[in-house]
């Protein structure tokens, strides 16, 4: 076992982690721990762009961007945070350009901008050109540019190190902390994939930037490695997760595969059609049609299929039609995604429309933070020395549905803020002693999993989880479907206790890691479904057929999900004003649902029409 | 609208995903584990796959259903993260971008780790030497002028000049396909030169002279023998050899 000491430790090297690293590493001794190589992170798969009201090509301003973000999130967005994001977007784009990012250009040599779903002029009048982009590989260019600047700044990386525990001075999973009581994050425990060795990192400040958890679903645009590690670790250590019922299904995944085809395809003029050749979005969103926000488009597509207007032999997808666009325009603006259609489906997008269907894409929820990136341990108490940014976090700037491009924006704005906050905090703080047994829980967990007698296969349990989530907790949900999903997950949790690994070695034991990742996925799927059962309304990405309307009277609140020992009380924070009245008992633990109020500044909730 | 309907009907006549009948395929995979022994060995696996499955799907099926010890890197599974470069039937490719039906599945498909980098376990190689070369060419934007308050101006033509080399995902398929790199591990290799090219030809960047100096080294661009393996190997379709030639030319003419 090795031990390390850093002022700031960042877990995850995608966009948020590396943006934070660029802030922190210049100020204090900083380490970045990543389970991949930094350039493998899934930020690199983002395609369409990053919105900022630069007004380079037409009139625009950050207030319109704020409004679109709030409305796009179906008013569950914390409006102060959305305002910060939209305002700081402009500097964030300029920062990236100054770091060398090769944006596409206007004829005048400025950063070019294009249309994107839900981004409008003057509070919904028409689509606006707000997305700054680099062909259809904007995320790739952001990831590369941030990594290049980390190389320039000599940021210290621990590649292929897998963080398996978060150390705090109070165990929130068992202790009830009084309001205002101090809780400190003091370190993390990591597993070196190459050697199997355990490393303990002591830190004054820790930033979680571990990304999303798309692998709880079968059809997803997410990487195999997006298993929600940071979220699940926080949950297990007694921290709440916020708004986990809100998962975004991106409308245009390649049918049957889930590989993402950017909304930029529609921003550049692409049209969705059903089996009648009809541009069906005209019926669902008469003003901005195919450029409605993702939740609306995904639901409309699923509805077309359900009502028998799907395409293909099984009538189970719709078509993304680019055939009216000039091939040269497609090549210039959408080269990668058209290549995906050719490679994986054998479809030539110049001449044939592309089969598409919604694919699980983005977790709106996550570890609750304030706008400085500080993690909350309940509705309002901050944990000292713990920060989170990016998809793992919930600020909440996305509310119940994220607008396209706002994730690349989120990682840049709040990655920077978290890095800056963590560095500033570490300058004033001192190291806390780590307990002598800091790594014991992790070592025991690894040994136990490695030494299990032959049991069930990890892949079988994972497949069953992903299938029930796709069948029962996707675009359309009902109490019955969610109850079914929860029953299935409970059974799979039991089966998980008997899974075993074949690889008993120390080096590059990816078999063992997949087993641990499955544990994270099960815990997160469970939380997602419990929160979805509890929210008896439809809002943004969460659509309940049995409660099809938004219910602001009862549900204009963030959900806070806690995992507590079965013996603990049913309350988690005596000062919270309003609880969802719900506790799920699961044998040795229970899930308690609390709430957190939504910050509203200038926008009154209105009916959401496009 | 009629035209669209016709193309729709036409698309539906083609076999769709999942409709292509499944078939059996044999993968012959080079294995190695220092925990097992000092020498590599070969394992053969015969599995049933679908027509749209990729080599990565086959590797997963083997790992998940048959041999959990089989080790390889992967992440995004659609050709953008660069984790799963490997040698498939003697050619460097990304496993997630290579459809089984396209690599002559009637015969055993040979899967080996990429060459020229130390093998650590099965298909996993040590990427550190590769990234060390990358870091040496100063792969970051250098601008010495006063920073504008807004963006630097750049014309579309200037932006287009280095577009091709911005596509690089650092998968090492090019570098590990290069015979010069196989015999001389000190050679910077195509990927590092591609990334130098990305900055040398960026009109906003002021570090070209320094980078050209680095690449003028005896292990630099002049080692390139123009075998075009790298261009053929690149899963992103970058014209790697052309980029190297452009860097060579810039070194002579000092024009970039």
Q: CA–CA separation, A378 vs A177, rounded Å?
A: 10
Mean pLDDT value of segment A363-389: 97
Nearest to A312 by CA among A248, A357, A371: A357
Which pLDDT score, from 0 to 100, does residue A15 have?
98
Kindly list the structural domains of chain A, giving each domain's residue range(s) and its CATH number in brackets, ordered by start: 252-357 (3.90.700.10), 439-597 (1.20.58.100)
Residues of B in contact with A225 (CB under 8 A): 75
Q: CA–CA separation, B57 vs B62, rounded Å?
A: 9
Question: Which are the contacts of A438, defined by CB distance < 8 A and separation ≥ 6?
Answer: A165, A167, A187, A189, A200
**B21-124 CATH:** 3.10.20.30
Which pLDDT score, from 0 to 100, does residue B11 have?
43
Residues of A in contact with B16 (CB under 8 A): 255-256, 312-314, 355
The tens digit of pLDDT for each residue in A313-334 reads 999 999 999 999 999 999 999 9
Q: Which member of A98, A137, A314 has the closest CB to residue B147?
A: A98
A to B CB pairs, distance under 8 Å: 202
The tens digit of pLDDT for each residue in B130-179 reads 999 999 999 999 999 888 999 999 999 999 999 999 999 999 999 999 99
Instruction: State yes or no: is A602 an active-site residue.
Output: no
Nearest CA in chain B to A105: B156
A312 is in an annotated binding site: no
CATH 3.10.20.30: which residues of chain B? 21-124
Q: Which member of B17, B80, B155 has the closest CB to residue A109?
A: B155
Minimal Cα–Cα distance from A586 to chain B, Å?
29
CATH 1.10.1060.10: which residues of chain B? 128-142+160-253
> Hey, are the CB atoms on A259 and B78 less than 8 Å from each other?
yes
Minimal Cα–Cα distance from A188 to chain B, Å?
23
Mean pLDDT value of segment A429-450: 96
pTM attached to this predicted model: 0.96
> Hey, are the CB atoms on A39 and B68 less than 8 Å from each other?
no
Which pLDDT score, from 0 to 100, does residue A24 have?
98
Q: Which two tokens stand for residue A249?
A: 């299904």
Run of H or E residues at A595: strand A589-597
Pick the CATH number of B128-142+160-253 from 1.10.1060.10, 3.40.50.150, 3.40.190.10, 3.30.565.10: 1.10.1060.10
Q: Give the N- to C-terminal CA distance of chain B in Å, as an integer.
A: 49
Q: Is the pLDDT of residue B18 over 60?
A: no
Question: Which are the contacts of A325, defined by CB distance < 8 A and separation ≥ 6?
Answer: A268, A269, A270
> Hey, are the CB atoms on A39 and B150 less than 8 Å from each other?
no
Run of H or E residues at A357: strand A354-363
Mean pLDDT value of segment B55-69: 98
Question: Which are the contacts of A121, defined by CB distance < 8 A and separation ≥ 6?
Answer: A58, A59, A60, A64, A127, A128
Question: Could you tell me if A311 lies within 8 Å of chain B, comparing CB atoms?
Answer: yes
The pLDDT confidence band at residue A586, using thresholds 50, 70 and 90, is confident
Q: Which residue has the tokens 């700037």?
A: A397
Nearest to A520 by CA among A361, A359, A363, A373: A363
> Hey, are the CB atoms on A343 and B140 less than 8 Å from each other?
no
Residues of B in contact with A140 (CB under 8 A): 80, 167, 169
Q: Which is catalytic among the residues A294, A299, A462, A539?
A: A294
Residues of B in contact with A509 (CB under 8 A): 71
Question: Could you tell me if A277 lies within 8 Å of chain B, comparing CB atoms?
Answer: yes
Run of H or E residues at A327: helix A327-333
Residue B237 — φ and ψ, nearest 5°?
Answer: 70, 20
Which three-class secondary structure state does DSSP give residue A445? helix
Mean pLDDT value of segment B14-30: 76
């Amino acid at each position: 076992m090795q031990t390390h000491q850093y002022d700031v430790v960042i877990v995850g090297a995608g966009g948020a982690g590396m943006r934070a690293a660029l802030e922190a590493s210049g100020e204090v001794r900083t380490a970045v721990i990543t389970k991949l190589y930094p350039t493998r992170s899934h930020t690199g798969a983002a395609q369409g762009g990053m919105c900022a009201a630069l007004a380079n090509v037409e009139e625009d301003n950050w207030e319109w961007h704020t409004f679109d973000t709030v409305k796009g999130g179906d008013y569950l967005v914390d409006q102060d945070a959305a305002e910060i994001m939209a305002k700081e977007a402009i500097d964030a784009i300029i920062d990236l350009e100054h770091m060398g990012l090769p944006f596409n250009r206007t004829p005048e040599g400025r950063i070019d901008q294009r249309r994107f779903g839900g981004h409008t002029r003057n509070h919904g009048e028409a689509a606006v050109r707000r997305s700054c982009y680099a062909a259809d590989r904007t995320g790739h260019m952001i990831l590369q540019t941030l990594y290049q600047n980390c190389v320039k700044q000599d940021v210290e990386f621990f590649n292929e190190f897998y963080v398996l525990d978060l150390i705090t001075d109070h165990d929130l999973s068992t202790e009830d902390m009084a309001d205002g009581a101090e809780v400190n994050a003091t370190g993390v425990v990591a597993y070196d994939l190459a050697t199997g060795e355990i490393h303990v990192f002591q830190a004054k400040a820790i930033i979680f930037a571990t990304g999303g958890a798309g692998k709880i679903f079968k059809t997803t645009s997410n990487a195999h490695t997006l298993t929600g590690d940071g979220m699940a670790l926080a949950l297990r250590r007694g921290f709440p997760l916020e708004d986990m019922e809100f998962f975004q299904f991106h409308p245009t995944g390649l049918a049957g595969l889930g590989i993402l085809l950017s909304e930029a395809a529609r921003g550049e003029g692409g049209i969705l059609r059903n089996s009648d050749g009809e541009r069906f979005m005209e019926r669902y969103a008469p003003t901005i049609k195919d450029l409605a926000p993702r939740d609306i488009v995904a639901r409309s597509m699923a509805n077309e299929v359900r009502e028998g207007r799907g395409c293909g032999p099984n009538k189970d997808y719709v078509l993304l039609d680019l055939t009216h666009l000039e091939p040269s325009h497609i090549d210039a603006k959408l080269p990668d995604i058209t290549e995906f259609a050719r490679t994986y489906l054998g479809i030539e997008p110049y001449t044939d429309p592309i089969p598409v269907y919604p694919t699980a894409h983005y977790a709106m929820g996550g570890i609750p933070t304030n706008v400085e990136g500080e993690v909350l341990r309940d509705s309002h108490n901050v944990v000292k020395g713990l920060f989170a940014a990016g998809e793992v976090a919930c600020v909440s700037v996305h509310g119940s549905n994220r607008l396209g491009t706002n994730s690349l924006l989120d990682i840049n704005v709040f990655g920077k803020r978290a890095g800056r906050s963590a560095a500033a905090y570490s300058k004033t703080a001192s190291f806390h002693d780590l307990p002598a047994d800091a790594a014991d829980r992790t070592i025991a967990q690894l040994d136990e999993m490695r030494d299990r007698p032959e049991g069930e296969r990890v892949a079988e349990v994972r497949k069953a989880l992903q299938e029930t989530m796709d069948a029962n907790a996707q675009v359309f949900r009902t109490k019955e479907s969610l109850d079914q999903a929860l029953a299935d997950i409970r059974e799979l949790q039991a089966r998980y206790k008997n899974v075993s690994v074949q690889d008993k070695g120390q080096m590059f034991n990816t078999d063992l890691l997949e087993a641990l990742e499955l544990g994270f996925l099960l815990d997160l799927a469970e939380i997602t479904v419990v929160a979805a059962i509890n929210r008896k309304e439809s809002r943004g990405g969460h659509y309940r057929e049995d409660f099809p309307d938004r219910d602001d009277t009862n549900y204009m609140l963030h959900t806070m999900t806690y995992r507590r020992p079965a013996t603990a009380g049913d309350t988690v924070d005596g000062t919270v004003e309003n609880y969802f009245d719900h506790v799920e008992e699961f044998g040795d633990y229970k899930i308690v649902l609390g709430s957190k109020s939504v910050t509203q500044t200038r926008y009154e909730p209105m009916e959401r029409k496009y | 609208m009629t035209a669209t309907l016709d193309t729709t009907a036409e698309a539906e006549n083609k076999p769709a995903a999942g409709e292509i009948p499944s078939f059996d395929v044999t993968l012959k995979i080079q294995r190695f584990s220092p925990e097992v022994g000092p020498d590599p060995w070969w394992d053969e696996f015969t599995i049933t796959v679908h027509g749209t499955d990729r080599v990565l799907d086959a590797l997963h099926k083997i790992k998940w259903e048959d041999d959990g010890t089989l080790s390889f890197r992967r992440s995004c599974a659609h050709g953008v993260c660069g984790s799963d470069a490997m040698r498939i039937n003697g050619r460097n490719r990304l496993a997630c971008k290579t459809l089984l039906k396209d690599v002559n599945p009637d015969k055993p498909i040979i899967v080996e780790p990429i060459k020229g980098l130390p093998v650590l376990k099965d298909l996993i190689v040590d990427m550190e030497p590769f990234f060390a070369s990358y870091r040496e060419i100063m792969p970051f934007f250098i601008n010495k002028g006063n920073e504008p308050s807004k963006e630097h101006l750049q014309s579309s033509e200037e932006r287009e000049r280095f577009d091709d080399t911005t596509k690089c995902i650092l998968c090492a398929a090019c570098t590990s396909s290069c015979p010069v790199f196989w015999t001389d591990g000190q050679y910077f290799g195509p990927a590092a030169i591609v990334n130098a090219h990305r900055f040398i030809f960026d009109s906003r960047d002021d570090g070209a002279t320094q980078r050209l100096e680095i690449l003028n080294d005896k292990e630099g661009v002049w080692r390139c023998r123009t075998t075009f393996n790298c261009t053929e190997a690149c899963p992103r379709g970058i014209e790697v050899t052309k980029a190297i030639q452009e860097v060579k030319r810039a070194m002579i003419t000092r024009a970039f």
